[in-house]
Amino acid sequence: MQKRKLLVVDDQAINRKILQNILKDTYEITLAENGLEALEILRKADVDFSAILLDLIMPVMGGLELLAIMKEDEHMSLIPVIVVSQAEQSETEHKALDLGARDFISKPFNPNVLCKRLSNLIELYESNERIDVMERDSLTGIYNKDAFCRVVRERLNQDFVKEYILVLMDIEQFKLINDTFGALEGDRLLQYIASELTISTDPVEGIVGRIGGDIFACLVPDEEDMLEKIVGAARLSLAKYSLEMKVHPKFGVFRIDDRKMPVSTMCERALLAAENIKGKYGLLFAFYDDTIRQKLLDEQQMSNEMVQALENGEFEIYLQPKYELVSERIAGAEALVRWRHPVKGLLSAADFIPFFEHNGFITELDLYVWDKTCELIASWIKRGDCYIPISVNMSRKDIYRDNLVELLMGILNKHGLKPQHLHLEITESAYTENQEQLLEIIGRLKSMGFVIEMDDFGKGYSSLNMLSELPIDILKLDMRFIQHRSRTENRRNIISFIISLAKWMNLSIVAEGVESEEQIELLRTLDCTYVQGYYFARPMPCSEFTEILFQSQLSDPVVCSEEIILGTTEAEKKKGRKVILIADGDAKDRDVLKNYLSDKYVVVEKENGREVYQYISENFDITDMMILD
């Protein structure tokens, strides 16, 4: 077994010899005759000492001076030091211990006592070092969750006078940073945050830990401006961080008024406060309060009641019409859900959908909505052969279900419908999670005949890259984008660009959230086709919508150029998808054009003028364009 290494520092050769003889059988001894020589030895990177035996009174550099230098060094300050000196203990012992010495023994000493105290000190140091490694987060070096909770508990038990707050920091959309720049860059950011939080809390003896993937916690005194200092320092340091994406921290704060509460519960409550302001621009921190506590109680009640509520039919489908803007006739609808609670009355989707998305029940609720919507469409067709498409929402959890296509087709077959009857709405934020898987799933749904709508475009993470990659049919533009009057002209230009781009890409566009005459006039001037919002109609029960539907003169449904419209003639079916005629004598040239255009058009090929003339004379009314050699 390899011997532990000791450094003996003493200016007297006889003392060095005595100590070497006592300890050489147990330890590998290195000798130094003054503090300066010892310092040079310690600065060699390839030497790790288990302990140092140090004399205080020496020429060139004394023991106290060496201790002072070691105290300021991150590595040397960790080495346990036993002071061996003839000096009076009363004064120099206090100075040595204050500078980092771990023990003090006076000359002359008992060899057995010296060996035992040295052995105990090394074992204590090494066991603490092992514990410290177990308590440290392997990536950032700060406390892990268990250690943070233990150390905070010890601090609260020791100091009953001082008031404390627990501050939790969470990074908004951290997964997007990982996906965009890679896990290594994400790790580098976490290490940077841990370092900055440690620096900002050290002056007040704060305790810092990493308690989750991108979640950090700090215990600091509840003193004036303390929270603002921590939040301000974090915001400033992250603003300087070299990343081509702005990092948005959110802080949740729990004021500790019950010291018996488990520290893990304090962290959970601070996290709830942070989550409560996610997505809210300008809000950096929030305190946990009774409002959040009541939200927890409400969520627990919903969790207890949701399954039975679904079985009891307490969830109701509401429909909000979509209108063709020129004629102001109904052209489609969106299915929404309400909860008719037996005690609380009618609850809007905002009261329960976010919680269901969090706990996973949203998948069961969506299946229910899809089924009821298809049942309603089938009843319309049976009653009067009347049909408009209804859009249904798909949560991000739905999209990544392995059996999604099978579930949807099963519901359609149950009610005798086709995929074209049901429009599927996805939110643009789904694109940020797993782009490759999303493209694969949407591609499968599109190939089955479903019409794909992108909801909330312009609200969060819109990009031209998203539009170019996703095989969508309809774009829903969120008009809340221009509700604020600041930079109105710029926002108008952006909306004009999006509408023009959608038309160029052969997409239908629906402006949602339309609430004013001013918005209507703007959309008319920008040649927007379809609108949805309170200006025309609020969401209404299915029975009310059905009566309006059968009393109304309908517009053409909200469809893309590829959708086949129900109940029309064969020629009109073709017209539902634009027909482009390619006339070229070279088969290879026709193949190139066909491969390029067939995703968006019905491609008809002819190789000479006679064939072109004959085809056009017979199909003039359904031919939209021609490419002619």
Q: Are 181 and 114 in contact (CB under 8 A)?
A: no
Written as six digits, the tokens of 12 are 């007297």
The Cα–Cα gap between 248 and 284 comes to: 9
Q: Which member of 93, 334, 512, 562 is catalytic?
A: 512
The Cα–Cα gap between 274 and 499 comes to: 36
- For residue 517, the surrounding DSSP H or E stretch is helix 517-525
**DSSP code string of 258-303:** -TTS-HHHHHHHHHHHHHTTTT-TT--EEE--HHHHHHHHHHHHHH
Amino acid at 549: L
Residue-wise over 17-41: b if at least 16 C-beta within 10 A, else e? ebbeebbeeebebbbbbbbbbbbeb
DSSP summary character for residue 564 = P
Q: Are 166 and 256 in contact (CB under 8 A)?
A: yes
Distances from the Cα of 327 to the Cα of 58, 373, 386, 546, angstroms: 100, 26, 19, 20
- Contact partners, residue 61, CB within 8 Å, separation at least 6: 34, 35, 36, 38, 39
Which residues share a beta bridge with 2? Answer: none
- For residue 134, the surrounding DSSP H or E stretch is helix 111-135
Amino acid at 457: F
SS3 for 366? helix
Q: Look up tokens 């949807």; give the residue.
A: 408
Which residues share a beta bridge with 329? Answer: 324
Catalytic site residue 512?
A: yes
Cα dihedral angle (593, 598, 603, 608), rounded to 10 degrees? 20
Residues annotated catalytic, as ranges: 512
